[in-house]
Amino acid sequence: MIAVFAAMDAEVQPLLRAAVLRESSEASGFPVIRAEIGGREAIVCRTGLGRRAAAAAEAVLGSFSPKVVLSAGTAGGLSPDLNAGDIVICDRVRAADGASPEDAEPVLADAGSPARASRPGAAAHDRSVGLDGGGWRRLADGVARAAELARSRGFEPTFHHHTATYVEAPWEIERLLELTDVGLLLDTGHLTLGGGDPIQALDDWRERIDHVHVKDYRREILAAIVAERADMEEAWRRGVFCELGQGDVDLPGFFARLRTIGYEGWLVVEQDRIPAADERPGEAAEAQARNRRWLATTVGL
């Protein structure tokens, strides 16, 4: 059996059009389609974006035990010469931040779930959506085992709290820090969406913060998503994370506090986004150029 994972409908539909469809099913809440592709039995899973992909992979692998796993889509676009349907085989690994494998810092995260993705930001005011005692023990054990493996290879891991996962709201981050000894990757956008204050976080967790992701966030978009009972993927599509200086995160205050506490670790500028169907290929690059200018003119970086 072959398992095929893809984040978006645009990646799934061309494959399904070429397949003989058998039945719709699910694996731990993730919708899957059983099909025949090229005479081979296959499971096709649309994972959605972000951390859900790892949870979907775990669910499908556990439920169907495929012999071959394929991932549809190429994150970021490796080359302008690539076309839809091309197969990419990697022969080396390189960290996304440009570091060599020897200097890379493993980033751990909870994979989340469809239930959490359907209620972004809810844990800030509704703890019933969070893990129970057993769930926290399993998460802490998993982080400990992953950290042990990383350290045995000379790496020091850090943990990324993230929207649509079980480490999203400030109280969930606090619990994670209580139960583990890994560093914390502080993300200004995800923390604000989860009900937190990035400046307060620098004061509260400064001894654990060893990596920072900087992004801005629009509160009114999340409010509309919650009112409409839409999910996190739709929030991404509407631009809940926006260009620096255009949202509700107090980024000038955050950078001022970073300087005050003497932070000297990694800092990555992000703008989680899903390109619109009619978006020019160069628009994402232009947005990042504007982010770079904002950093230079507003906070002197």
For residue 194, how many C-alpha atoms fall within 13 Å in the half-sphere facing its CB? 30
Instruction: Supply the range of the domain harboring residue 183.
Output: 101-298
Report the pLDDT value the prediction gives residue 51, as an integer from 0 to 100.
Answer: 60
Q: If pLDDT is split at 50, 70 and 90, which confidence band does 80 have?
A: low
pTM above 0.85, yes or no: no
pLDDT in tens, 35-56: 998 888 998 888 876 667 777 8
Q: If pLDDT is split at 50, 70 and 90, which confidence band does 92 have?
A: low
- Report the distance separating Cα 83 and Cα 264, nearest Å: 41
Same domain, 251 and 113: yes
Residue type, 12: V
Residues contacting residue 44 through CB under 8 Å, at least 6 positions apart = 4, 6, 12, 15, 16, 19, 32, 33, 35
Q: Where do we find the tokens 């959605």?
A: 48
- Using a 10 angstrom Cβ sphere, with 0-12 exposed, 13-18 middle and 19 or more buried, the burial of residue 89 is exposed
Q: Encoding tokens for residue 116?
A: 């959490």
Same domain, 146 and 279: yes
Q: If pLDDT is split at 50, 70 and 90, which confidence band does 86 have?
A: low
Residue 184 lies in a domain: yes
More confident residue, 101 or 189: 189
- Report the distance separating Cα 196 and Cα 168, nearest Å: 9
Residue 235 lies in a domain: yes
More confident residue, 290 or 92: 290
Same domain, 6 and 140: no
Q: Encoding tokens for residue 264?
A: 């000297």
Q: Encoding tokens for residue 238?
A: 């509407």
- Report the distance separating Cα 51 and Cα 290, nearest Å: 27
Q: If pLDDT is split at 50, 70 and 90, which confidence band does 73 have?
A: low
Report the pLDDT value the prediction gives residue 204, as an integer from 0 to 100.
Answer: 96
pLDDT in tens, 216-256: 999 999 999 999 999 998 999 899 999 999 999 999 999 99
Whether the pLDDT of residue 85 is over 60: the answer is no
pLDDT in tens, 144-187: 999 999 999 888 999 999 999 999 999 999 999 999 999 999 99
State how beta strands 241-242 and 216-217 pair.
Answer: antiparallel
3-state secondary structure at position 45? strand
Whole-number mean pLDDT of the chain?
86
Please say which residue of 53, 72, 91 terminates a domain. Answer: 72
Q: Where do we find the tokens 């859900």?
A: 52
Please say which residue of 72, 88, 112 terminates a domain. Answer: 72
Question: 4-35 burial string, b = 16+ CB within 10 Å, else e?
Answer: bbbbbeebbeebbeebeeeeeeebeebebbbb
Of 60-64, 211-215, 248-252, the least confident: 60-64
Same domain, 281 and 200: yes
